Structure 1
Amino acid sequence: MKPFETSCYSLLLLLLPASGAWSASSVESAVERVAREHVNRYAESIGWAEPQLKLKLTTGNLGGCPDDANIETIDVRHPSRMRFAAICNGEKREVVVRATIAANVVVSAEDLKAGTPIDASSLKLERRDVTATPGAVTNIDEVAGKTSRRAMRAGQLVDRRWLNESVLVKRNGKVTIIARNAGVEVHVAAEALQNGRRGEVISVKNSANGTVLRARVIGPDAVEPLEIPSGTTR
């Protein structure tokens, strides 16, 4: 082989790997785009605030795949390990994408006891890795006033799966029935016949006339009647 031909052949050999890498990179970009769309929808469905995503692709051999290769979704149930396939000349080549998601979420600002109503002042927002915590909460108001089934350490991320509504009305305790009708609000003293959390319907007894009625808990020691009782006493 002549020196000139040898130089051209050597140059060709150098160009071939670069061409293959460029093709694989194009397909990887397509996979990453599809994966990012899935993760963004996932974060939006949960309501995470200002999510930041990092994606890492673990690929097989994508060399030789056409730039317009179709990307097929296999399994995206867990962002930490999503599976896709690039269709290369009729052959499926699997690609694993591992996502890391960070978002502004609620964490405890101090140690919290289980079963004790949580005050808003004991909570704060921080940016945390929430990839493995789909129950992470983004709004302090969603946590304040509730109780946790487990104790939490200062700095621990709050998981909504641990939370219970606090008991706002206690059995045999005094409550106020707040009845509203046509712009008029009437307060009636009553006794709770059951414990109740926000939104629960319980039985209460009118302290003035002994009438028992069903009412919905709307706040601490406060309920609203399911039906406006006749002859309500102010």
Structure 2
Amino acid sequence: MIYQDFLVTHGDLRVALLPHRRSRGRKSGKAFSACALALFLFALLPSAVVRAEVEAAGQIDQAIAAHMQQQLAAEAKRQAWQGMRHSLGITLLSSAEQLPACSQALELTVASDDPSPLARQRLQLRCADTPGWTRVALVQASVFVSAVHAARVIERGQTIAAEQVLLQEVNVGRSSRGFYSSLDEVVGQGAKRRIRAGALIAPSLLSAPLLVRRGQQVTIVASQDGISASATGEALGNGREGEVIRVRNLGSQKVIEAQVVEEGVVTSTFR
């Protein structure tokens, strides 16, 4: 166990609160009395002596919390995050115990190379009306937002339906591959690979949905010089919107190249 000695000074009165230590001999009434006397003298000190120390540390925490809240709220708006919450890890590079409470709002300056509120921030805090009242803090925000996850297994090539996804909380700092904040961004897209149930859906896992699949019967729409016609064909490959695939005309058995325009429909021109 680690002990720490505390020394409180008020005018000419100095009271040291020492840790209890185990005696090898008999218990000493004098040792107990000395400790009791120290506690009694500490209780006689004006509460403002202790309160000033607490207020100085509290002012630092409040200034940092307000600054980070503002920065993170702006980032959440920019990124369209939903349901954001955060926690802060604050480390003061020197103790605030000897600082008096500041009579005005602290001045806060960002001294970090990376301005992103998700990166570790180095902040300098200063009380303008008290010379020497300056502290530096390192702050790391842990940010949690709602993100799209797979509600069940999504197979490779499958077009994602609304019932296959849901919103769950994710730690932004641990989601380097990215994520989606809205279900609408994911529904209707295709899965590049198999996605397990409960997995965070990252952009790298998705592609435009397949509108035509190999072996599927499709409608071939052809037009030229104001004349249009349609025929039934068989897709010889998979295709997304705008992609060109090979299609067999089931009437003539001729294989043509056609562009996918919508689900089950391709277009070509007379040749």
Q: Distance in 2 between matches of 1:59 and 1:170?
A: 60
Match of 2:120 in 1: 82
Deviation at 1:86? 1.8
What RMSD, in angstroms, separates the aligned Cα atoms of the two structures? Answer: 4.1
Matched, 1:11 2:45: yes
Match of 1:128 in 2: 169
Match of 2:153 in 1: 111
- Matched to 2:82, the amino acid is A
1:153 aligned counterpart, secondary structure: coil
2:142 aligned counterpart, secondary structure: strand
Structure 1 residue runs of 5 or longer lacking an equivalent are: 180-185, 230-234
Matched, 1:70 2:112: no
Match of 1:27 in 2: 60
Q: Which of 1 and 2 has higher RCO (CA within 8 Å, sep 6+)?
A: 1
Structure 1 segment 24-173 matched on structure 2, within 5 A: 24-61=57-94, 63=96, 64=99, 66=102, 67-72=105-110, 74=112, 75-77=114-116, 79=118, 81-88=119-126, 89=132, 93-103=136-146, 105-125=147-167, 127-131=168-172, 132-133=174-175, 135-169=178-212
Deviation at 1:137? 1.7
CA contact (8 A) 1:169 1:196 kept: yes
Structure 2 residue runs of 5 or longer lacking an equivalent are: 1-11, 14-40, 127-131
- Matched to 1:110, the amino acid is R
Flag the 1:117–1:214 CA change in 2: closer, same or farther, 3 A: closer
- Matched to 1:120, the amino acid is A
Normalization by structure 2: what TM-score?
0.57
Deviation at 1:27? 2.1
CA contact (8 A) 1:111 1:153 kept: yes
CA contact (8 A) 2:82 2:145 kept: no
Q: Distance in 2 between matches of 1:137 and 1:15?
A: 51
Deviation at 1:19? 0.7
Match of 1:183 in 2: none
More strand by share: 1
Deviation at 1:149? 3.4
Flag the 1:90–1:23 CA change in 2: closer, same or farther, 3 A: closer
Normalization by structure 1: what TM-score?
0.65
The structure with more radius of gyration: 2
